[in-house]
Structure 1
Amino acid sequence: MATVDLFAIGNALIDQEFKVSDDFLLQQNLQKGTMQLTDGDSQAHLYNKLKETQLYKGQASGGSAANTTVAFTALGGTAFYGCRVGNDDLGKIYLDGLNDAGIQTAEKSVSEGVTGTCMVLVSPDSERTMHTYLGITAELTDQQIDFTALKTAEWLYIEGYLSTSDSARQAVKQARQIARENNVKIALTLSDPAMVQYARAGLDELLDDGVDLLFCNQQEALMYTETDNIEQALAKLQLKSKYTVITLSSEGALISDTEHSFQVPGRQVTAVDANGAGDAFAGAFLYALNQGESLKAATELAVLISSEVVSQFGPRLDIKSYATLLESFQKECA
């Protein structure tokens, strides 16, 4: 296995995207803007309702950390993704998609079971609400992850959605130990307000004694720190991370290095689908930081990439689009 810049661990999910009305979310008792875990039968029932009454937009390989890894690799980095898929057609589609994007995976990621799926419901204001059946990824353990490349990586990246799984948290604990022993920097994303609300103890375990880089959005930051303004939230998060990035939707992002903080403005775009925007932001930010760019430049690139993701349906851009955007960004900065 070749050396990689980024070693990521996360859930493997196939997204089914629908454009839905706010009334539909209310009728189905779904909390807008969050992720809700469910079982296979309940998701199948919802899927049938969606197909009957809402607009189907297509299928895409998803998973928060996977989306981040795709952005990171498409911009020019190298990456490995540790996950668990079933030995079914969706599992093959999922891993083939990552490999086609240049991301390394391990054969041991495939095991008996059903690959996880996520119903991504995009409301008229472009907000995404997710109804997730984890399938076999709910049982992700260290046995499905080849940690070889982690020992020489630059970054370990952990998604907060893993906070709901006892076995996944144990795998992350092992990954954190390997990272610390080999001077690999650790980044983590809180992932979703629902993780903060319902899996707070799991997030605390993933964060452990702190990380080098923490990603979250404004709602997650306020909820996790139990504060009512972003400045107080940032002050508390600084105790957990060397660098903290709080995304502010169309307003850009707030960044801190424990001593200083600053805000980078957002870009004016027509928002279509917020699914995957935060993931793309993290991937672009990590890529730029790994290339030696300043925090400001890394944030500006991340804002550019994530705003393009928001402007279309689906959690990822066409692979070639990332490089095109990077080239235009570099010309503007020259």
Structure 2
Amino acid sequence: MQKTYDIYGMGNALVDIVTEVSDDFLDTHGIEKNFMTLVDEERQSQLMNAINLPEADKKCGGSAANSIIAASQFGGSTFYNCKVAQDELGKFYLSDLKANGVDTNLEESNMEEGITGKCLVMTTPDANRTMNTFLGITATFSKSQIDEAKLKDSSYLYIEGYLITSENGQEAMKHAKKLAEEAGTKVALTFSDPSMVKYFKEPMQAVVGDGVDLLFCNEEEAMLFTDKDSIIEAREELKKVAKKFAITLGANGAIIFDGDTFIDIEPYQVKAIDSNGAGDMFAGAFLYAITNGHSYAEAGKLASLASSKIVSQFGPRLEKTEAKAILEHLAN
């Protein structure tokens, strides 16, 4: 039976504030480089005040939201399930989702009082990204926010690993996975960040349970989750928990397992400026491709090209014209 949505995403709703900083800034303020760290609003405000924020860019974000918007820009039908507050940033978030063709559970009438979450994304000259995140109201995201009808009317459920940091988030992840399995909706999961595997390994294993249909991770996350010292060992171990998976390797491309064989995805050589959102773009482009008639090899090629465009600019998102150009380039 044909389903309305290609992808139903769920994750933290955060307004991304993207800016550039030096390594000295990170050292001076005691910020752990290359990791996502949860902070309170006071700490985040102190850091924002210490940065020249007129240089910052602001977009609705969160890992899964970036992926869902990417899939939508390529032409996929998408739904994003999240929680924002009834404040200016919450209204901005809803407006930005709609502007990018994403359906959502959000309506101004169902937004609660509170503070919409913010993610301060700090890019260093080596193109690495470090994030300090104040979750705000999204910390209370729970299974009560899940739109069961829309989830069941989707080809894929896409779960963001960042939800693992709270018990209510873990419960929502498990509940959504169960609903999807009962409805014949395939389950895709992204680990999102090495810190989610490093510090929340047991809850993440519980969410994975008896396995997922599709897993997205990077090389470090794959080895952390499997307790293996090489990517060759890790990818064999991942077969036990994921029917199919994609492991991104940064400048070295990616490894795709399509359920039968490993496919090496060549990288596109670019000058890296900002790695923020590269993994999100990879997942979004990949999910768009496999839900719209493309093979896993073709999906990997599209995802690799799209993520190479992301790292060569600031911010986690393409322009709609860029997404169209990428599709046209691969079609020729």
Deviation of 1:319 after TM superposition, in Å, equals 2.3
Q: Which has the larger displacement, 311-320 or 82-91?
A: 311-320
Structure 2 residue aligned with 1:173: 174
Distance in 1, matches of 2:132 and 2:204, equals: 20
Question: Mapping of 1:71-86 within 5 angstroms?
Answer: 71-86=70-85
Q: Which residue is 2:55 aligned to? A: 56
Partners in 2 of 1:256 and 1:144 — Cα distance?
Answer: 33
**Corresponding residue of 1:24:** 25
CA drift at 1:206: 2.3
Determine the C-alpha separation between the residues in 2 that align with 1:87 and 1:200: 33
* Alpha carbons 1:20, 1:55 under 8 Å: kept: no
Cα pair 1:188 1:213 within 8 Å, conserved: yes
Range with greater deviation from structure 2 (186-195 or 219-228): 219-228
**Residues 196, 220 of structure 1: 8 Å contact kept:** yes
Equivalent pairs counted in the alignment come to 328
Q: Counterpart of 1:215 in 2: which secondary structure? A: strand
| d(CA) in 1 for partners of 2:280, 2:178 | 24
Q: Say whether the 8 Å CA contact 1:110–1:144 is kept in structure 2.
A: no
Which letter maps to 1:292? G
Give the deviation of 1:173 after TM superposition: 1.7
SS at match of 2:56: strand
In 2, distance between residues paired with 1:297 and 1:271?
A: 23
Q: Is the 8 A contact 2:146 2:176 kept in 1?
A: no
Whether the aligned pair in 1 keeps the contact of 2:83 and 2:106 (CA below 8 Å) is: no
Counterpart of 1:278? 279
CA–CA distance in 2 between the matches of 1:200 and 1:89? 35
> What is the distance in 1 between the residues matched to 2:111 and 2:330?
38
Matched letter for residue 95 of structure 1: L
Decide whether aligned partners of structure 1 residues 27 and 199 sit closer, same or farther in structure 2, where only a CA change above 3 A counts. Answer: same
Structure 1 residue 280 displacement after superposition: 0.5
* Amino acid across the alignment from 1:66: A
Q: Does 1:124 align with 2:148?
A: no
The answer to whether the 8 Å contact 1:57/1:313 transfers is no
Q: How far is the alpha carbon of 1:78 from its aligned partner?
A: 0.4
Q: 1:25 to 1:321 in 2, by over 3 A?
A: same
What is the letter of the counterpart of residue 186 of structure 1?
A: V
Note the C-alpha offset of 1:56: 2.8
Mapping for residues 1-334 of structure 1, pairs under 5 Å? 3-51=4-52, 56-107=55-106, 110-331=111-332
Q: 1:141: how far off? A: 1.1
Q: Distance in 2 between matches of 1:110 and 1:231?
A: 46
Judge which range, 223-232 or 123-132, deviates more. 223-232
In the TM superposition, residue 112 of structure 1 has moved relative to its aligned partner by 1.8
Contact 2:94 2:106 survives alignment (8 Å): no
Q: Give 1:205 shift.
A: 2.5
Displacement of 1:258 after TM fit? 4.3
The CA distance in 2 between the partners of 1:81 and 1:35, in whole Å, is 22
Gaps of 5+ in 1: none
Contact 2:188 2:214 in 1 (8 A): yes
Amino acid at match of 1:64: S
Deviations 1:285-309 (A, max 9, x none): 1111112211111100000111111
TM-score by length of 1: 0.95
Residues 13 and 116, structure 1, Cα contact 8 Å, conserved in 2:
yes
Paired residues of 2:8 and 2:80 also in contact (CA < 8 A): yes
- Three-state SS of the structure 2 residue aligned to 1:18 is strand
Query: Deviation per CA, 1:27-69, whole angstroms, max 9, x where unpaired?
Result: 2222211100010111111111123xx8833212210000000
User: SS of the counterpart of 1:312?
Assistant: coil
RMSD: 1.5
Matching residue's letter, 1:160 = G
